[in-house]
Amino acid sequence: MLLAGGGAMAEESAVCEGRTSQPPLQRDAQGRVKVGEDVVSSFKSRQPAARAEGVRAKAELSWTDRISSPGATYIAPHFSQFALAPGDYVIVRAPDGSREYRYEGFGKGDGKAPLREGFWSGHISGDVAIVELWSVGGRAKSGYAIDRFARGFANLAALGDEDKDNKALCGTDDSRNARCYQGPDPRQYKHSRAVARLLINGSGACTGWLVGNQGHVMTNEHCIANATDAANTDFEFMAEGGSCSSTCNFGLACPGTVVATTSTLIAVDAPRDYALVRLPTNPTATYGYLQLRNATAVVDERIYIPQHPAAWGKYIARNSTHVSDASGFAEVFALNRPACSPGGPLDIGYYADTQGGSSGSPVIANSDHRVVALHHCANCPNRGVPITSIISHLGSLLPQCALRSAACPDPYDVWMRDTWSDTGLEPDAATAGQDMWASPYIWIRRNPDGVANAHVHQNPELGATNYVYVKLHGGPRPGASGRLKLYYANASTGLDWDSDWTQFGDLPINGFPADTHIAMVPWSGLPGEGHYCLVARWESAFDPMSFLEGTDIGTNVRQNNNIIWRNVNIVDLESGSTEIHFIVRNVHRNVRALSLAVRVPEAELGRPFPVKAGRVLVRLPEALFKGWLEAGGRAEGLEMVNQEGTFEVTSPEGGVFHGLPLAFREEHQVRVRFERSADATEEPYRLEFVQFDQDAPDRESLGGIGYDIYAFGEPKPKQ
């Protein structure tokens, strides 16, 4: 365990235009906002009688205490003594059974001996808590004693004087119920699922959040300062309203799920004001987790803060009416604000609204949804510890997948590969310069054997049921429930979204347990013979598109990892030759002429199909051929065979037509004949037809279509 320093958080003396929290708040000696008070009151269970005939097979109710405090928002008992015989247990529950906790042995701790200072039970919403002792009758000395309980108040002003130093609302409070952003900003909302309301030692309120995929929670050191605090903290997730209009603006409002009432302290540091604990069970499969950005925040970049201000239901500070935030959204104001904690690094400043109880909240960058700071103090600009300082200090204790990588993508992401280089990032630097229309993660089979023949594509058969397979990554994660939608288009080097596409599949998926899942969608009723292009889109409320979609399908695919596109078809030369056709189409208003390349991929240059293994004959339609001639008729690697627009590819590297004049939305059908030569081998060949902007040939392709050529017929399927 990493421990460093001690002492309460320092407050900055400067005062700006911030307002005090509403309602006024009181803090305990540690600096936590108090949302309840201790009530001294004794309860003690009667010792169950030992049974001469031995223990019961099933425990029976032996004793009940009812703890009541009219008007309280919650009740949290403190056990001063707790030692139960094997098989006995204590239940702390709500009268209606809506929430309950079970404790055995010594309740909390290492299980070897009772805790000298006792322990706090998890809290029960409402003004009544029931405590029950259930016994199998094996030993007389088994029971508990309660010396006090905490009761919560909706009106936190009832707890004492206003916290004069807490100026966290920077003008008008622009934060809103978390549910208000489920529709308008679903990526922010879904990342807020990892944020929890913390109740510490019965009455101290803070915010914490899951970091990494092993069940760790991060918060402030002034919230959880030691192992005792960690052992006596309730971790309540999804404590938020059911709608944007829900009333959640009072202490412990809008109850969620208390996942744990204890934790193990892993690391704590007072100068950096952070604490890292680990929960007894790992809830990341349900709530996801946040990841840290191992790079400094940027001044003026947009941020948002999911939080539990004043222990309210979850709010998100996203918008900002402060004059320093010109965009109307909360932004990073400065990277060099005075440190709130003695000996700590310079803080990151921002005008996002917070209150007492927001301590420990993640400050998340809107661009990549990674945490850039740990919120910990106020005074406008509000301030957070740079997360890079915490990453460095944690060292080897940093939880698994706390940093994003190819092995640890965004946990709320279901994603599919555009190319074999794809790592799931949006957009992905690993696929820069690569074509987006050749995804290996979608393939067709004529029989339902696509798992055994993964990534092996067949052309669909007219008049029969075909089977489309799509591979997805991302389960088990909150984003792994949604709909997989499939679309087709006639084979073309130029396609608009979504006017050129027809939907043919819509498969609901309610989660998948493994990280990788292969989905299958039957496809019957093909519109005709020929080759097709395919698109698969993953649509989920928890995993929306990162970037708005436009008409450029290539841009949509490159920017969003839940869209894949396949324009790769099969050429079967078992008979020695065949003819196919595709559409060349200009879907870009600012493009006046196209270059159409017949391209041998770089990986295939050692064994190209043209010239070395067969003939490739390309025939332009009459109108396109005539226009090309009038525009200068320039080509490379191609030889004209006749005056009807037929050309043979004469270079093993392929060829290119320059200056094909196509107006916006103009299209033509190009025919291609493949002929096998005696030098062909059984291993498949790849040939691509790719279109570029004639005036910008060095830019990425505008679209394309590929052909896997089997010189002696398609391989037999694996069984």
Question: What pLDDT score was predicted for residue 157?
Answer: 54
> Which has more confidence, 341 or 224?
224
Phi/psi of residue 13, each to 5°? -80, -25
Q: Is the confidence at residue 174, as pLDDT, over 60?
A: yes
Question: What pLDDT score was predicted for residue 540?
Answer: 86
pLDDT tens across 532-571, in order? 999 999 998 778 787 889 999 999 999 999 999 999 999 9
Q: Is the confidence at residue 16, as pLDDT, over 50?
A: no
For 230, the enclosing helix (H) or strand (E) is helix 227-231
Q: Give the percent of the chain with pLDDT over 70.
A: 93
Check residue 45 and report its DSSP letter. Answer: P
pTM of the model: 0.71
Q: Give the percent of the chain with pLDDT over 90.
A: 77
Mean pLDDT of all residues in 346-374? 96
Q: Which CATH number fits domain 571-710: 3.30.70, 2.60.40, 2.30.40, 2.170.130?
A: 2.60.40
Q: Name the band, by pLDDT with cuts 50, 70 and 90, for residue 1.
A: low
Question: What pLDDT score was predicted for residue 18?
Answer: 33
Q: Name the band, by pLDDT with cuts 50, 70 and 90, for residue 332.
A: very high
Question: In this structure, which topology does domain 34-156 adopt according to CATH?
Answer: Jelly Rolls (2.60.120)
Question: What pLDDT score was predicted for residue 309?
Answer: 95
CB 567 within 8 A of CB 436: no
Question: What pLDDT score was predicted for residue 631?
Answer: 94
pLDDT tens across 27-61, in order? 888 889 999 999 999 999 998 777 767 778 899 99
pLDDT tens across 216-251, in order? 999 999 999 999 999 999 999 999 999 999 999 988
Mean pLDDT of all residues in 6-23? 37
Q: Is the confidence at residue 167, as pLDDT, over 70?
A: no
CB 82 within 8 A of CB 144: yes
Pairing between β-strand 703-710 and β-strand 568-572 as defined by DSSP bridges? parallel
Question: What pLDDT score was predicted for residue 156?
Answer: 65
CB neighbourhood size of 94 (10 A):
17
Question: What pLDDT score was predicted for residue 12?
Answer: 33
Q: Name the band, by pLDDT with cuts 50, 70 and 90, for residue 456.
A: very high
> Which has more confidence, 514 or 188?
188
| Cα-trace Rg, the chain | 32
User: Three-state SS across 339-361?
Assistant: CCCCCCCCEEEECCCCCCCCCCC
Question: What pLDDT score was predicted for residue 56?
Answer: 85
pLDDT tens across 485-532, in order? 999 999 999 999 999 999 999 999 988 877 889 999 999 989 888 889
Q: Is the confidence at residue 394, as pLDDT, over 60?
A: yes
pLDDT tens across 592-618, in order? 999 999 999 999 999 999 999 999 999
pLDDT tens across 659-683, in order? 999 999 999 999 999 999 999 999 9
CA dihedral 385, 388, 391, 394 (to 10 degrees): -60
Helix (H/G/I), strand (E/B), else coil: 713: coil
Distance CA 609, CA 686 (A): 7
pLDDT tens across 150-160, in order? 999 877 655 54
Helix (H/G/I), strand (E/B), else coil: 546: coil
CATH dotted code for 172-397: 2.40.10.120
Average predicted confidence (pLDDT) for the chain:
91
Architecture of domain 429-566: Sandwich (2.60)
Q: Name the band, by pLDDT with cuts 50, 70 and 90, for residue 5.
A: low
Domain locations in the chain? 34-156, 172-397, 429-566, 571-710
Question: What pLDDT score was predicted for residue 164?
Answer: 36
Distance CA 194, CA 556 (A): 28
Tell me the H-state helices in 356-413: 387-394
Question: What pLDDT score was predicted for residue 476?
Answer: 65
Distance CA 249, CA 178 (A): 12
Strand partners, 510: 481
Question: What pLDDT score was predicted for residue 10?
Answer: 37
Q: Is the confidence at residue 11, as pLDDT, over 80?
A: no
Strand partners, 100: 93
Please give the structure tokens belonging to residue 16: 């700006």
DSSP class per residue in 441-483: TEEEESSS-TTTTTT------TTS-EEEEEEEE--SSTT-EEE
Strand partners, 205: 33, 199
Q: Name the band, by pLDDT with cuts 50, 70 and 90, for residue 436.
A: very high
Question: What pLDDT score was predicted for residue 479?
Answer: 62
CB neighbourhood size of 422 (10 A):
21
Q: Name the band, by pLDDT with cuts 50, 70 and 90, for residue 112.
A: confident
Please indicate whether the domains covering 429-566 and 571-710 agree at the CATH topology level. yes
CB 121 within 8 A of CB 43: no
Question: What pLDDT score was predicted for residue 381?
Answer: 92
Question: What pLDDT score was predicted for residue 405?
Answer: 87
